[in-house]
Amino acid sequence: MPDPVLLIHGGAWSIPDDMVEAHLNGVHNALAAGWRMLARGGAALDAVEEAVVIMEDDETFDAGRGSFLNRDGKVQLDALIMDGSTLRAGGVGCVERLRNPVRAARKILSDSPHVYFVAEGAERFAAEHGIPLCRNEDLIIPREVERLRGFQARAADANVDLFAPTISHDTVGAVALDGSGNISAATSTGGTLNKAPGRLGDSSLIGCGCYADNQTAAASTTGWGEPIMKLVLAKWAADHVATGSLPEWVAAEAINYLKDRVNGHGGMILLDALGRFGIAHNTPRMAWALKTSKHESYGIERKN
């Protein structure tokens, strides 16, 4: 019987000093919720879902309520969850009326022959499967209204393209190994500040923002989505673990590859079915938390 492992992240970006404590508290709470599932013999899939729900509910993070706003001042959310034992997956993209898009993703994984739903179709699927819809306004908080206004005003003053890839990637994610030896991954995001309506990032795309296969590894990425998508980075990392490389090394190499090949930035958590893990980011900060039955640790600063 393997010793369960839960590893989570709360997004890789230039987290401001005054938000460090909130990020560490947030990943701490998410770790506790996910671990409760694993500690009572629950599945890795349940653990990653519960951990991500806690971060979607926490306004600190760019997921669920409190997410960055798009160019039209709306929240548009993406999420994916994947089961490494069956390769079943569920994803939602560009949803505007779900407090917890990862719950809808999990319903798709469990109850649908399809893998991916977007926009109104995703919301309709969720409602038909017992997940209540909210108003988009319920997901918007004053901090983010101010942030968008400030960004758009600065961009107008400087007469520059309205795109914010370096300042806003607070995606959340989790990977877990359960006592049955199965691994799973989940990722959820509000995407980037001031994104174009309908823009889909990496987070909810299989192999880009999230991947899990018992035979390789479980990965959740965070960061500037477009470069991560171009490299299908989560699958790239899982495949490298399958060649025999240690997840610790692969996660670092994946972030080097992201930088060297497409000048991207972001972070990754990676875990294999033996409980070996990797944590890497090339952004100034990424909140993460790790728990096994013998060990618990947290971090936020880049080490090199």
Please report, as ranges, the residues that interact with ligand GLY according to CB under 6 A. 169, 171, 189, 191-192, 201-203, 222-225
CB of 67 to ligand GLY, least distance (A): 10
| Beta strands 77-83 and 116-118, pairing class | unpaired
CA 27/CA 299 separation, integer angstroms: 10
Which CB, 182 or 189, lies closer to ligand GLY?
A: 189
C-alpha span between 3 and 34 (Å, rounded)? 15
* CB nearer ligand GLY, residue 77 or residue 273: 77
Contact of 79 with 52, CB cutoff 8 Å: yes
Burial bucket for residue 137 (CB in 10 Å: 0-12, 13-18, 19+): exposed
- Residues with Cβ within 8 Å of residue 204, at least 6 apart in sequence: 78, 79, 80, 91, 92, 93, 105, 116, 187, 189, 210
Cα–Cα dist 40/20, whole Å: 31
Q: Minimum Å distance from CB 18 to ligand GLY?
A: 22
Query: Minimum distance from CB of 12 to ligand GLY (Å)?
Result: 9
Considering beta carbons, is residue 182 or 204 the nearer one to ligand GLY? 204
Report the 10 Å Cβ neighbour count for 5. Answer: 27
Return the closest-CA partner of residue 177 out of 50, 82, 83, 44.
44
Question: Exposed, middle or buried by CB within 10 Å (0-12, 13-18, 19+), for 268?
Answer: buried
Q: How far is the CB of 228 from ligand GLY (least distance, A)?
A: 6
Instruction: Provide the terminal-to-terminal Cα distance of the chain, rounded to the nearest Å.
Output: 35
Taking the least distance from each CB to ligand GLY, the nearer of 97 and 169 is: 169
Residue 298 C-beta: closest distance to ligand GLY, Å:
21
Among candidate residues 60, 171, 216, 221, the one labeled active-site is 171
Q: Catalytic: 171?
A: yes
Q: What's 105's DSSP letter?
A: H
**Positions marked active-site:** 171
